[in-house]
Structure 1
């Protein structure tokens, strides 16, 4: 298959490109930098220079492809609301050039699934729709599926390898700076997680096996590590006290991250359905 990947030189994209090439797919990767060009050439894929906010470059990259995997997202959290709008426009642009029967794979998050505290999220849970949560990748992609394009949604948890661990480094940095490693309330809220190599494999299998319609996959291998366990591990490693704080005290410690430890952690997620390569894929 001919596959276009946005965010092809990012944390997940780098691993996915290798996974797709190894499986025999023809890959076109998007990058905006000279270093990215060299990285993609070394990986043996076609290079497409483009920007997430340059909609014409996105359309050009997706034209003629059998599948598009959209991984790119700006992680400048000071502009989170604008980033969410840019994401919607990017998905719309990519979908506009795909013919019926082609595939669009869109990245979302397990934290964007609906459900109250204590509810185990599954692929059947619809995306959250609240004014306070500006990201709406799934709602945008569903509209594209209505014109006959096959759509797969991959909801990511905390993705990790030996060098990067999702949002955990930000929590660790806050603990190092403040000299204390806190958890919120009783710390029982949980974070789902998965290793990078398995997440890349899931994306590749989504490309190869997704059929008609609209399908959601949870990229979840570990269904939930409690925030208290994380705080204790960080505290032990940094040799700082571990304490419980209230939600009202969280902003003073976590800063811009303040809402996420309580919000994301409540959204424990599960992968339901068939297993491939040790990672669960939801099929409906």
Structure 2
């Protein structure tokens, strides 16, 4: 297949590029910069210039492909509402191009708030309380006959080059001189390695997206304190519990995420796709030098 991939130069997207090309597919990668184009070319992908805000570029890319994978999302939380709107418009634009064809589309989503404090499954619906509406947009596209589904990424999608939540916690621990958790620290985060997630995207495209949504989850739920323990030991700083009142001052905007209990299963995904994670789990991966190189 020739796959149009948004977010192709990103942390997860670049892993998908390698996974697809290694497996014999072609990749048409979206990029807005010359540096991104150089990176994609070095990986063997074709270049498609554009952005999430440029809906014409998205429609053009989708029209040239046999399938679409949408991983791009602007994680600047200072303009989160606008980013969510851009994401919805992008999905709608690409989906409109695929109507009336058999070409599939996979949309990236998350696990936040789907089933707080219990193990979320693929049968659970996306939370109406979360402003990111990737799954809702994908479902609307699917209602018009497009073969569209979603991949829910674990919030701690990890691996070399990670610049997400766990590196933020490491930076915070360096800055404040402690590795903190909230309460007893037993709230759980699911995890997956970026290379295992990339293989899931490929398998879903190859085997049919209809059995989604899929959960890109290896660790069902890693206690937040276990993450803090590794960070504290690696940095040589105390590991400290914070009350919920203290958490807002310590974590800032991240306090809401630090307190989430969002375990998730991937049993149906594994059964449907024959997907078995092969890379290190979150704690084993976190306890390596690449996370702590200053």
Per the normalisation by structure 1, the TM-score is 0.91
Matched residues, number: 273
Report if the CA contact (8 A) 1:69-1:106 is conserved: yes
- Give 1:27 deviation, angstroms: 1.5
Provide the secondary structure at the position in 2 that maps to 1:260: helix
Alignment of 1:134-283 (within 5 A): 134-157=131-154, 158-164=156-162, 166-212=164-210, 215-263=212-260, 266-273=261-268, 274=271, 276-279=274-277
- Give 1:163 deviation, angstroms: 3.5
**What's the RMSD between the two structures over aligned residues?**
1.6
Tell me how far apart the structure 2 counterparts of residues 242 and 94 of structure 1 sit (CA, whole Å).
Answer: 46
Q: 4+ residue runs of structure 1 moved beyond 3 angstroms?
A: none
The residue aligned with 2:287 is none
- Give 1:112 deviation, angstroms: 4.6
Tell me how far apart the structure 1 counterparts of residues 45 and 109 of structure 2 sit (CA, whole Å).
Answer: 25
- Give 5+ residue unaligned stretches, structure 1: none
Provide the secondary structure at the position in 2 that maps to 1:279: coil
Alignment of 1:11-50 (within 5 A): 11-50=11-50
Provide the secondary structure at the position in 2 that maps to 1:249: helix
- Give 1:88 deviation, angstroms: 0.8
The residue aligned with 1:54 is 54
- Give 1:126 deviation, angstroms: 0.3
Report if the CA contact (8 A) 1:65-1:98 is conserved: no
Provide the secondary structure at the position in 2 that maps to 1:104: strand
The residue aligned with 1:103 is 104
- Give 5+ residue unaligned stretches, structure 2: 279-294
Tell me how far apart the structure 2 counterparts of residues 160 and 233 of structure 1 sit (CA, whole Å).
Answer: 15
- Give 1:165 deviation, angstroms: 6.4
Q: Which moved more, 1:38-47 or 1:83-92?
A: 38-47
Q: Which has the higher helix share?
A: 2
Provide the secondary structure at the position in 2 that maps to 1:97: helix
Report if the CA contact (8 A) 1:152-1:206 is conserved: no
Alpha-carbon displacement from aligned partner over 1:228-270 (angstroms, at most 9, x marks no partner): 111111111222222211222212111221211113xx11111
